[in-house]
Amino acid sequence: MAVPASFGATMGEPSPTGRFGEFGGRFVPESLIAACKELEGAFRSAWGDPGFRGEYARLLRDYAGRPTPVTECRRLSDRLGVRVLLKREDLTHTGSHKINNVVGQGLLARTMGKRRLVAETGAGQHGVATATAAALFGLECVIYMGTVDVRRQELNVFRMNLLGAEVRAVDSGSRTLKDAINEAMRDWVATVETTHYCLGSVMGPHPYPWMVRELQRVIGDEARSQCREVLDGADPDVVLACVGGGSNAAGTFAGFVDTRVDLVGVEAAGGAAIGRGVPGVVHGMRSQLLQDEDGQVVEAHSISAGLDYPGVGPEHAYLAEVGRARYVEAGDQEVLDALRLLSETEGIIPALEPAHALAYLIRAAGGEIPTGSTVLVTLSGRGDKDAAEVMELLR
């Protein structure tokens, strides 16, 4: 296994302006600079406060169901010739890693004296997660969602309503996720005194990429010590996670970045911002973006709505540039095959997003990932939400 070029990178704090190398930053209107600075200060002091940390840890344990286990996959390992361990974020309350982020931001909002959460959502998963946290903390909640997505994701709209949130349909632009993000930011500008913007991944202006990675770091920190228990003190050879905005991958990588582990992010082939993007500025950050020849941000397409984002968190763009992590792609058909294989061999139906990481594992086992390697895969969520869609696709 090649030793990563920048072995020793830390995933610590970004520069004072929120930069990871040339990526990141805070590209927002003047009216939002103060809000971002207030949030950065509040998060920094909360994160350094044992009282806040203790309360957050307690909620992750008693409400979200942490720690999640690491599961050894004996039958899948036999099939692939590599030893496969899964970090089971699918077993959390609400069924994905998103709960780690929203419980942290909800607690922070309450600490800051805000009484209202706004958020964007594409497929509805982050909207449901935010509405969950809002209910937990007794906060008002408004979720922005493109009209196209509102129509496609009726059930999630109903879930958000049940949880007491208002869903506002966004009828501008392509009427999908990137338009919902713009509207949520517009709301935040107008209401910042009372409102916290609960952003859903390691993207957007500083401090979000850093803050959301820190709130997801629990995945990697737990996994590292759980792996050492299973592997007699050793680390896995390879760590795999799917990358949409990149939060489950960032949280996972943070636990292993100071080791010699081969860190691999798996993007959807139709949303491969690192694999096929170019540097640009969108949604308050500089990162790798899918753009057309005129510099317009293009829509991402994949079977998994959670990976349908044309950008990626700036820290991933940086980790790719310095060579500390590598990024690969998985296509729709191999993702469906992977979902079926894990279901049949282990009795675990994964969400479509982490099925991308499994698809790469299946393709690379015995090749880029040598036979006999030990591989940890973050299973970011469970497959229930995708069952109807997968049924159509496999029919």
DSSP state of 290: -
Distance CA 280, CA 103 (A): 31
98 lines the binding site for ligand PLP (CB under 6 A): yes
Distance of CA 113 to the CA centre of its chain: 26
Write down the catalytic residue from 73, 198, 227, 242: 73
Q: Can residue 94 be called a binding residue for ligand PLP (CB under 6 A)?
A: no
Please tell me whether residue 364 binds ligand PLP under the rule CB under 6 A.
no
Q: Contact, 274 vs 243, CB < 8 A? A: yes
- Tokens for 5, please give them: 């070029």
Instruction: Kindly state whether residue 380 participates in binding ligand PLP, applying the rule CB under 6 A.
Output: yes
Identify which range of 73-81, 165-173, 191-199, 241-249 contacts ligand PLP by CB under 6 A.
Answer: 241-249
Which residues in the chain belong to E strands, given as ranges? 19-20, 23-24, 70-73, 83-88, 116-121, 140-146, 166-170, 195-197, 238-242, 262-268, 278-282, 285-289, 325-330, 374-379
Exactly one of 14, 204, 245, 270 binds ligand PLP (CB under 6 A); which one? 245
Given candidates 77, 156, 176, 247, which one binds ligand PLP under the rule CB under 6 A? 247
Selected binder of ligand PLP within 201, 226, 302, 374 (CB under 6 A): 201
| Sheet order of strands, 70-73 included | 70-73, 83-88, 374-379, 238-242, 262-268, 325-330
Distance CA 131, CA 148 (A): 20
Pick 351 or 377: Cβ nearer ligand PLP: 351
| Binding positions for ligand PLP, 20-49, rule CB under 6 A | none
CA 123/CA 119 separation, integer angstroms: 13
Catalytic residue status for 73 = yes
Q: Which of 204, 306, 311, 383 binds ligand PLP (CB under 6 A)?
A: 306
- Shortest CB 44 distance to ligand PLP, Å: 22
Measured from each CB, the residue nearest to ligand PLP is 381
The reply to whether 242 belongs to the active site is no
The 3-state DSSP class for residue 342 equals: helix
Residue 277 lies near ligand PLP (rule: CB under 6 A): no
Kindly tell me which of 92 and 111 has the beta carbon lying closer to ligand PLP. 92
Total residue count of the chain as it appears in this document: 395
Would you count residue 383 as binding ligand PLP (CB under 6 A)?
Answer: no
Are 351 and 386 within 8 A, CB to CB?
yes
Q: Report, as residue numbers or ranges, the catalytic residues.
A: 73, 97
Which chain residues interact with ligand PLP by CB under 6 A?
96, 98, 125, 201, 242-248, 306, 351, 353-354, 380-381
